[in-house]
Amino acid sequence: MPVAWSGRPPGPGAMRGRPARLRDDGQYLRYWIAGRVSYAGSMITSVLLPVLMYRRTGSPLQTSVLVALEIVPYLAFGLFAGAIADRLDRRRLLWGCDLASAALAASIPVASLAGALTAGQMLAVAAGIGTTFVCSDSASFAALPALAGRDRIVAARSSISAADSILAMAGPAAGGILAATLGPASAMALDAASYVISAGLIATITRPLYPPGERRPARAPQHIRADVREGLGYLRRQHQVRALTLIGFASSITGGAVMGLLVVYANKQLGLPRTSVLIGVLYAAGGLGAFAASVALPALARRFPVPAITLAGTAARVGLLGGFAVTRQVATALLLFAALDGCSSLVILVGITYRQQVIPDRLQGRVNVIARMTAVGGQPLGAVLGGVLATAFDVRTALLIAGLGTAAALAGGAAGPLRPGAWPRFRLDPAV
């Protein structure tokens, strides 16, 4: 039977033989490098595939459908992918997904060289890579607590998020350069190579991707839907985890509205031309804010309980969004957007880290992917809502209304499971 989780991570000596610091842990570093190499390739491809589709077809509709197909699999298959990650060998699932993604990405330059590349193939590749990402992401969430140790989750999550923030800024820019120099079809070979490198690194990890002393439990031959219901039931019973997930959902709706209107905001509110380079600088400012939040997470986790960080970050978001919506100064907007994205990232990171510390290992894949689905689902919902509101009123009003959802989540959390009386027993446990 799986080892029961007591609510506190094991001490630094729980995983005997491992280095005290993550930077000295070769097993963790392989996992970290594999994920970052793969993520860098994916960020580049997020530009290459839409550019390639638009160049080949000239169709805005087919281009937008391709972008949507990269997201839809998470919403369609997320629950089942989480259950699969809790059933199968996580190492094999991770490198298997990498190899499948490599084959899909490599099919683009191969078909292009043969003169046989079609819009249908590009759509299929986008959907296929999106589907393998769901399974890989679920397995990665589930494997990290066992690989790093629950006492080092804060440091591990901080290092991953900080690197991904940098890659999220640099990757699309690199994709644009590669599309202009090598051509988008040929450059897709780099994404395929990144998946192969990631698979090779994952295959060399020898540390079990399950908690120390726990063998992979033999799962009862129940239907996978029963596994899904078990994950949903855990989230329903665990009030703190559920509250953090709901706040994350509200944050993603607001964030989706802001990102969906960012170009319009820059033009209508700040008076920037549609081709201004400052629009790109505005996006980069958000990335810098997310990076700062990742770096600050360990220090904040040592000093403050989870609800204090979550509520303070959410309250700050409400105030910052108000200022961002009304300002007409470019410099002020850059500072406010950096702080806004930083607070949003901090709230999301705290929720992810807390879940990975307290969820029993056998449920890691399922519960984490449910939370991830709410965030992924909230973004397009917020983007559509922002567009409707901006059409009915104006950009400023749309952003202010979008912030009301986050304000409501703040009030509900402060009056419920995140109330101050629960703070003493509601902390992260970063390794010293």
d(CA 59, CA 138): 33
d(CA 95, CA 205): 11
Question: Cβ distance 15 to 145 under 8 Å?
Answer: no
d(CA 35, CA 162): 13
d(CA 403, CA 177): 36
Count the neighbouring beta carbons within 10 Å of the beta carbon of residue 177: 13
Tell whether the model's pLDDT for residue 60 goes beyond 90. Answer: no
Residue 319's pLDDT band, with cuts at 50, 70 and 90, is: very high
State pLDDT tens for residues 74-127: 777 777 777 787 777 888 899 999 999 999 999 999 999 999 999 999 999 999
At residue 9, the pLDDT reads 41
Question: Cβ distance 126 to 49 under 8 Å?
Answer: yes
d(CA 186, CA 251): 37
State pLDDT tens for residues 155-182: 888 888 888 888 887 887 788 788 888 8
In the chain the domains, ranked by start, together with CATH numbers, are 24-210 (1.20.1250.20), 226-425 (1.20.1250.20)
Q: Please, which residues have CB within 8 angstroms of residue 145's CB and are 6 or more apart in sequence?
A: 153, 211, 356, 357, 361, 364
CA 219 to chain centroid, in Å, comes to 29
Name the more confident of 215 and 109: 109
Tell whether the model's pLDDT for residue 271 goes beyond 50. Answer: yes
At residue 222, the pLDDT reads 56
User: Which region among 1-10, 203-212, 219-228, 299-308 has the lowest average model confidence (pLDDT)?
Assistant: 1-10
Residue 198's pLDDT band, with cuts at 50, 70 and 90, is: very high
Residue 420 token pair? 């101050």
Q: Please, which residues have CB within 8 angstroms of residue 88's CB and are 6 or more apart in sequence?
A: 139
Tell whether the model's pLDDT for residue 15 goes beyond 60. Answer: no
- pTM here is 0.73
Q: What is the mean pLDDT of the chain?
A: 81
Closest CA to 38 of 144, 145, 132, 150: 132
Tell whether the model's pLDDT for residue 8 goes beyond 50. Answer: no
